[in-house]
Structure 1
Amino acid sequence: MLRNASAQIFRQVVRYRSTETNLILERSINRVQLLGRVGQDPVMRQVEGRNPVTIFSIATNEMWRSGEGETSPTGDISQKTTWHRVSIFKPGLRDVAYQHVKKGSRILVEGKLDYGEYMDKNQVRRQATTIIADNIVFLSDNSREKA
């Protein structure tokens, strides 16, 4: 009985029925957190008639042990680095990131995934995955600023 009541409440929270068109709009989540190191100093770009955007890349590493010693410390350690493109459109965050994010900095980026297409210089259609950041946490001081 309690489980059934909980499910009904959950459905009411997650689903919204439009009375005008009788559509059911469901809520969803597109949330990403990346913890890694910045691969390049950010650049700020502005396309005519649009707000500027700050862009940089962040590297995340995945490590695993393979071979005979998968369960013991004697196995081979492998590592895969994945590069992520980060774009920031929020005016305050965009400017702070442009000024303070530096190559090699360790940061946490929170945002959402965005998929898009563009034409490269050879007029070939390419796909791009971007993290649209809405929060950045600075985790390390940049040694270049101290020098």
Structure 2
Amino acid sequence: MLRNASAQIFRQVVRYRSTETSLILERSINRVQLLGRVGQDPVMRQVEGRNPVTIFSIATNEMWRSGEGETSTTGDISQKTTWHRVSVFKPGLRDVAYQHVKKGSRILVEGKLDYGEYMDKNQVRRQATTIIADNIVFLSDNSREKS
């Protein structure tokens, strides 16, 4: 499915030429897929004058074996966990995410990267990286809470 979408985007590369400035505008891709487990139940926030947003975190893990080569079966296995902040603005998806995403659930999030700034409670400017979700695929129920 993603391959077809990517191929379609590439086929639709659009170049506009302005006769006055010779400006070329090209399409680009900002696409992210994350497969992992939800870190906390989602929260819904609404800033005055804006639409609500559902926010949650997802953890992805990278594992590797330290040893005498990539094919080695000896050595220690190491793991690094990376946490990602996910924001859902689409009205239908935002509500589904708020109701059905639960801590520990395994999900696939598709979306785009967004970089922004905010002021913390001490009035210090901070940078934030967020995944703006376009799609969420639920891969399992929350089996960790049931056992």
TM-score range (shorter-chain normalised) is 0.7 to 0.9
Q: Deviations over 1:106-146 (max 9, x none)?
A: 00000000000011111111000000000000000123786
Unpaired runs of 5+ residues, structure 2, are none
Change (3 A) 1:7 1:38: closer
Aligned residues of 1:69 and 1:76 also touching (Cα < 8 A): no
Quote the Cα distance in structure 1 between the aligned partners of 2:70 and 2:59: 25
Q: Deviations over 1:3-44 (max 9, x none)?
A: 999999979834222457642111100000000000000000
Percentage of matched positions with identical amino acids: 97
Q: Deviations over 1:27-70 (max 9, x none)?
A: 10000000000000000000011000000000000000113464
Of 14-23 and 1-10, more deviation after overlay is shown by 1-10
Of 95-104 and 60-69, more deviation after overlay is shown by 60-69
Change (3 A) 1:98 1:66: same
Q: CA RMSD of the aligned region, Å?
A: 5.5
Quote the Cα distance in structure 1 between the aligned partners of 2:38 and 2:90: 19
Matched positions, count: 147
Runs in 1 of length 4+ with deviation above 3 angstroms?
1-12, 18-22, 143-147
Quote the Cα distance in structure 2 between the aligned partners of 1:40 and 1:23: 46
Quote the Cα distance in structure 2 between the aligned partners of 1:146 and 1:20: 65
Quote the Cα distance in structure 2 between the aligned partners of 1:29 and 1:146: 40
